[in-house]
């Protein structure tokens, strides 16, 4: 009984001091953000932004946490938009004790930021800033448009996104994510997914795996399934998915469903159907490793192959919680400052660069690449990316291991990026394959 009481006390102590809204962010270690730059005339080349990647500072009081980031990841691209990623000097403000919105739920922006990934990169809404305007039956969408039938971003821009974060740079150099942020997600079906970001109402966003019983941390692991589905019975786009969504004015109708305008082209082609495991906000109340007492949490949604993101990807069409109004704007910018007397967490510099705790040899290599790392890094997955940002090798590890060997004989000659996924963040190094 004494041991049980001690264990209970320790668990309560742990629960009292868990601070995921503070501790989940990937703090900069001084690594300079790089992106793969390519044009029609030259192959992709890894190019420096000159600015450090990830989150630069975390500042918090008893009620609020502020996160400052450049909006840049350690490695970005290749993506097929002409813009170069630039330092956004983002600051967002989140409640430390987020609350459910008990009144009318706020709509999630179709265009613009709706939350931040743990590496400080913004993720955006379901639209691509183009919508149907009805002026021509041959034009699916135009910039702006009538903003009734909004072109779905992954449908229209999916081919332009990189394979690291499903992201690209837009106007103003804003590098942002539209779908499944792959490099933050070791897709391990045997473990509860980690936190990958926070929505602008302060509630966490997890990867696609959670406990099958939302209130039992000892239950099996299950893939979270979207509650949204295509409106397959719709042939004429004369109504929106919301209740009483009939569009009485034909000028507001979208194009008739056809091969030229297929279902899935517009965000409004989907509706919450009450299926799956997640609610209309794309989340649920549940216990998680970081919130053992329970929290409302959003989840990413992917299909059974774990390779295709499923609508609505991160958040549904409305937020669950009370949204911080300063965060909601078309482009993030410094529109407010840190609070008074807040505790500041400033990241370490390159003196404590975690990449130095990983050794690879021989490099260049013609056959095998030996990888050793500090066992305290808790490496759980390793991925190898080619210069196009495609995953060419993927290896699972466990916390007891601190080394592995990669057979490079099947890889083509050239430069590769090696990403080690740690419980403390992601470490990226490069190596060269020769023959």
User: Is the pLDDT reported for residue 399 higher than 60?
Assistant: no
Domains of the chain: 22-345 (no CATH), 353-433 (2.60.40.3080)
User: Is the pLDDT reported for residue 12 higher than 60?
Assistant: no
pLDDT winner (highest mean) among 22-36, 339-353, 397-411: 22-36
Confidence bin at 207 (pLDDT 50/70/90): very high
Q: Residue 75 pairs with which residues in a beta bridge? A: 34
pLDDT in tens, 82-119: 899 999 988 899 999 999 999 999 999 999 999 999 99
300: its two tokens = 């990413």
SS3 label, residue 251: helix
Mean pLDDT along residues 190-202: 96
Which of residues 386 and 360 earns the better pLDDT score? Answer: 360
Q: What is the pLDDT of residue 382?
A: 86
Model confidence pTM above 0.85: no
User: Is the pLDDT reported for residue 230 higher than 80?
Assistant: yes
Look at 46-55, 278-287, 373-382, 407-416 and tell me which has the smallest mean pLDDT: 373-382
Confidence bin at 376 (pLDDT 50/70/90): confident
Question: Would you list the DSSP string of 351-415?
Answer: GG-GGGGEEEESSSBSSEEEEEE-GGG-EEEEEEE-TTS-EEEEEE--TT--EEEEE-TTSPSEE
Q: What is the pLDDT of residue 398?
A: 61
80: its two tokens = 């097929």
């Amino acid at each position: 009984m004494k041991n049980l009481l001690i264990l209970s006390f320790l668990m309560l102590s742990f629960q009292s001091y868990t601070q995921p809204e503070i501790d989940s962010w990937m703090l900069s270690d001084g690594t300079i953000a790089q992106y793969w730059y390519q044009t029609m005339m030259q192959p992709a080349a890894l190019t420096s932004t000159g600015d450090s990647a990830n989150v630069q500072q975390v500042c918090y009081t008893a009620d609020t946490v502020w996160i400052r980031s450049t909006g840049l990841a350690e490695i970005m691209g290749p993506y097929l938009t002409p813009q170069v990623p630039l330092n956004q000097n983002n600051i967002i403000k989140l409640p430390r004790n987020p609350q459910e919105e008990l009144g009318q739920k706020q709509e999630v922006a179709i265009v613009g930021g709706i939350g931040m990934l743990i590496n400080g990169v913004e993720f955006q809404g379901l639209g691509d800033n183009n919508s149907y305007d009805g002026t021509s039956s041959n034009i699916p969408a135009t910039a702006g448009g009538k903003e009734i039938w909004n072109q779905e971003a992954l449908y229209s821009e999916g081919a332009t996104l990189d394979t690291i974060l499903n992201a690209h740079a837009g106007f103003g150099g804003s590098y942002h994510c539209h779908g499944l942020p792959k490099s933050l997600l070791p897709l391990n079906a045997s473990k509860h997914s980690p936190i990958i970001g926070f929505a602008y109402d302060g509630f966490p966003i997890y990867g696609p795996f959670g406990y099958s019983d939302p209130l039992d941390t000892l239950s099996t692991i299950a893939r979270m399934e979207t509650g949204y589905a295509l409106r397959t019975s719709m042939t004429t786009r004369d109504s929106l998915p919301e209740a009483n969504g009939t569009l009485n004015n034909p000028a507001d109708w979208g194009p008739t469903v056809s091969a030229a305008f297929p279902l899935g082209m517009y965000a409004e082609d989907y509706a919450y159907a009450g299926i799956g495991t997640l609610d209309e906000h794309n989340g649920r109340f549940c216990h998680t490793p970081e919130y053992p007492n329970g929290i409302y949490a959003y989840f990413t949604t992917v299909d059974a192959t774990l390779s295709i993101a499923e609508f609505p990807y991160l958040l549904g069409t409305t937020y669950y919680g009370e949204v911080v109004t300063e965060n909601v704007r078309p482009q993030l910018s410094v529109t407010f400052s840190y609070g008074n007397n807040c505790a500041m967490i400033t990241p370490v510099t390159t003196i404590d660069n975690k990449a130095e705790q990983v050794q690879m040899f021989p490099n260049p290599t013609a056959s095998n690449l030996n990888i050793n790392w500090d066992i305290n890094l808790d490496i759980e997955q390793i991925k190898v990316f080619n210069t196009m940002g495609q995953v060419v090798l993927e290896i699972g590890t466990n916390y007891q291991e601190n080394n592995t060997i990669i057979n490079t004989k099947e890889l083509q000659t050239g430069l590769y990026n090696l990403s080690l996924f740690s419980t403390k963040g992601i470490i990226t190094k490069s190596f060269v394959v020769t023959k």
